[in-house]
């Protein structure tokens, strides 16, 4: 008869320290998490890209949107509807 010894599993206590979200700009505690596209969190007053010198490339995104819109519309041809 083999007696299976139950080895007490060492429960690794994961230190679940909830990191309090703080604004990267003013270090203010965030009640609601606002996350910018640059993966940083800011308070409502610093969420604006201009307020925290955002590193996200908005220009590129903007250009891509414009490009897409042009593709949808087609080449800008002078469309004149003759009455």
Q: Which residues of this chain interact with Zn ion, rule CB under 5 A?
A: 23, 25-26, 28, 36, 38, 43, 46, 54
Task: Compute the least distance from the CB of residue 24 to Zn ion, in Å.
Answer: 8
Nearer to Zn ion, 26 or 73 (CB): 26
User: What is the C-alpha to C-alpha distance for residues 31 and 22, in angstroms, rounded to an integer?
Assistant: 9
Helix (H, G, I), strand (E, B) or coil at 62: helix
CB of 56 to Zn ion, least distance (A): 5
Least distance to Zn ion, CB of residue 69, Å: 24
Decide: helix, strand or coil at residue 35. Answer: strand
For residue 42, list its beta bridge partners. Answer: 34
């Amino acid at each position: 008869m083999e007696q299976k010894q139950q080895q007490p599993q060492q429960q690794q206590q994961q230190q679940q320290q909830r990191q309090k979200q703080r604004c990267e700009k003013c270090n203010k505690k965030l009640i609601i998490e606002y996350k910018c596209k640059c993966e940083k969190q800011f308070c409502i007053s610093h969420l604006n890209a201009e307020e925290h010198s955002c590193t996200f490339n908005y220009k590129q995104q903007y250009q891509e949107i414009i490009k897409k819109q042009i593709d949808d519309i087609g080449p800008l041809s002078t469309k004149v509807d003759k009455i």
